[in-house]
Amino acid sequence: MLKIENLHAGIEDREILKGINLQINAGEVHAIMGPNGAGKSTLASVVAGSEVYEVSKGTVELDGEDLLDLAPEERAHKGVFLSFQYPVEIPGVSVTNFIKTAINENRKAQGLEDMPAKEMLKKIRAMSELLEIDRKFLSRSLNEGFSGGEKKRNEIFQMAMLEPKIAILDETDSGLDIDALRIVANGVNKLKSENNAVLVITHYQRLLDYIKPDFVHVLYNGKIVKSGDASLALELEEKGYDWIKEEVSS
């Protein structure tokens, strides 16, 4: 589904991603772990199309289609979703209004009419129940005054509404207490299917207790230096990242 080959990217002269190779197939859950500054969030932003980073080499394809030539919104229309590590505030725009606009813009790109209000309402109800979101929350301004946990839950709510092909969860576990973590993970698991895939980016193994990855990759210094199954995450949790660093430098 998502295929990344020899991806190099950075800011100005500083290269952050130094040749990433990653293939994610439909129905799979991948986790990328790594120490701070390894390039985890950069990878997420580059796939989503952030203009902060410049891609110097390599390809990113979704179902065989080159993504790098597409604007961020076009990538979204193709089914790329990024749950932001730090979701931004948009004052005066309610959660409902925002998601309605997003859904209808995606539908427009697919040549569809706006989603009928009734259908929209039904879906919003179902998804907010799934993620145990209070109805009142939906009329608040997007991310304004939200707690860390509320912001992340709102990200997953949007994911649930937009039904992406590939969802990239960038440090979704940070700022979540254990109950919120369980709710969010539960939501992600329920929405997982044979037709979509999830890429979990995290610093800690904690989230992976709830979202079981099929593959775990270690990102270090802009490269994937080790890949394995779920047990790799446990190993990292136990031993930390130092042994990886040593392994790489030796």
Partner 1 sequence: MSKYTEDDLEKELQTKEYEYGFYTELDSETFPVGLNEDVVRAISKKKNEPQWMTDWRLEAFKVWKTMNEPDWANVNYEKPDFQAIAYYSAPKKADPNKTLDDVDQDMLDMYKKLGISLDEQKRMNNIAMDIVVDSVSVATTFKDTLAKKGIIFMPISEAIQEHPELVRKYLGTIVPTTDNFYAALNSAVFSDGSFCYIPKGVRCPMELSTYFRINEGGTGQFERTLLVADKGSYVSYLEGCTAPSRDENQLHAAVVELIALDDAEIKYSTVQNWYPGDDKGIGGVYNFVTKRALCEKNAKVSWTQVETGSAVTWKYPSCILKGDNSVGEFYSIAVTNNYQQADTGTKMIHIGKNTKSTIISKGISAGKSQNSYRGLVQINARAENARNFSQCDSLLMGNACGAHTFPYIEVKNKSAQIEHEATTSKIGEDQIFYCNQRGIDTEKAIALIVNGFSKEVLNKLPMEFAVEAQKLLEISLEGSVG
Q: Is 50 among the residues that bind partner 1 (CB under 8 A)?
A: yes
Q: Is 113 among the residues that bind partner 1 (CB under 8 A)?
A: no
Dihedral sign computed on CA atoms, order 151, 161, 180, 185: negative
Can you tell me which of 42, 96, 106, 196 binds partner 1, judged by CB under 8 A?
106
Q: Is 141 among the residues that bind partner 1 (CB under 8 A)?
A: yes
Task: Give CA separation, 113 vs 96, 109, 117, 228, 245, in Å.
Answer: 18, 10, 12, 44, 52
Can you tell me which of 12, 36, 88, 111 binds partner 1, judged by CB under 8 A?
88
Contact by Cβ (8 Å): 8, 18: yes
Residue in this structure with the two tokens 């979701």, named with its chain if needed: 87
Angle at 113 between CA 118 and CA 96, to 5 degrees: 45
Tokens found for residue 36: 């701070």
Stretch that binds partner 1, among 21-29, 97-105, 172-180, 228-236 (CB under 8 A): 97-105
Q: Is 41 among the residues that bind partner 1 (CB under 8 A)?
A: no
Q: Tell me the three state secondary structure of residue 208.
A: helix
Stretch that binds partner 1, among 8-16, 54-62, 95-103, 221-229 (CB under 8 A): 95-103
Q: Is 77 among the residues that bind partner 1 (CB under 8 A)?
A: yes
Q: Is 84 among the residues that bind partner 1 (CB under 8 A)?
A: yes
Interacting residues with partner 1 (CB under 8 A) = 48-52, 69-77, 80-82, 84, 87-93, 97-98, 101-102, 105-106, 109, 141, 158, 162
